[in-house]
Amino acid sequence: MMNPKPTWIERNPLWVTLRMSLVVWAILTWPLPRHLGTTIPAGMTHADHETRIAGNMPGDHMQLLYHFWLFADMVSGHTPWFYNLYEFNTGSDAETYMPGSYYVPFSMLFTAGYWMGGQAFGWNFAGFLSIWLTAYFTWLLIRRFTQCPAAILLGCLAALLLPYRWHSLLGGSPTGFGMTLAPLVFLGIDMAVREEKIRGGILAGVAILLACWSDTHVYFFATLVAPAWGILALVQRRDIDWLEPKTWIRWSLALLPVLIFIAISF
């Protein structure tokens, strides 16, 4: 029997998740899409859709925007690497040497947008990409459990509409960006356990390390849930020879990168 021809939705996950993310993002952030280059969100609520310049409002969004911009300034060569010259500088530049992750990889997305259209555009560009990547990574993860396009779409939509995600993202918390990496951790664990592929362990490990660099809350909970997701992936298998030493060796090798990257993150 011939396999049915994949539908357009199944063949174009990037395009489908892009359009889905764009619609959800535009609805939940309106009227932000009209002011991408001049305004950033400062929270979930806004009276009568009144547009305000977020730079005039103190909050977490300004703190994170500053660190995003500082990373961009380092990449541009205007600020020495790992020096926070402008915040609490009492006169000694040497005391402002502060090695850190500077919220990579999301500060990198901000930098690309910043070069294209300034600070506000860079922030909104990074925010939207974090939403789109969440939908795409979730698509790849759910597809490993079902091939039903409707189920995959509903799963992606549920991931996009998670209220806490929007509360964090629009409030300027790095958690809102970092949650992008959660489905990537689970995808890698699933690959490592079900297919015994070392690239799955590497994927999960890198995602955990990036979560550590992005937000400690996401890092903590993603690492905490990873073993449970491994058990869920294990349940999907029916061909395990528990008494075969090679089975345990393959699992150990596939999951070893996860432990290595967790150790690096510490």
| pLDDT of 223 above 90 | yes
Neighbours of 224 (CB within 10 A): 9
Separation CA 209–CA 229 (nearest Å):
18
With tokens 């990574």, the residue in question is 137
Question: Angle at which helices 60-76 and 106-117 pack, to 10 degrees?
Answer: 80
Whole-number Cα distances in Å, 261 to 39, 202, 207:
37, 8, 9
Dump pLDDT digits (tens) for 233-250. Answer: 888 877 777 667 777 788
pLDDT at position 266 is 84
Separation CA 142–CA 100 (nearest Å):
34
CB 188 within 8 A of CB 261: no
- SS percent in the chain: helix, strand, coil, step 5: 70, 0, 30
Separation CA 14–CA 156 (nearest Å):
12
pLDDT at position 3 is 56
Coil, strand or helix at 83: strand
Amino acid at 118: G
- For residue 31, whether the previous peptide bond is cis, meaning omega lies within 30 degrees of 0, is yes
| pLDDT of 54 above 60 | no
pLDDT at position 236 is 82
Please report which confidence band the pLDDT of residue 51 belongs to, taking 50, 70 and 90 as the band edges: very low
Separation CA 179–CA 193 (nearest Å):
22
Separation CA 258–CA 208 (nearest Å):
8
Separation CA 203–CA 218 (nearest Å):
16
% pLDDT > 70, the chain: 89
Give me 241's structure tokens. Answer: 């020879």
Dump pLDDT digits (tens) for 28-39. Answer: 999 999 999 988
241 phi-psi bin (left φ>0, alpha ψ -120 to 50, beta other): beta
pLDDT at position 261 is 95
CB 41 within 8 A of CB 61: yes
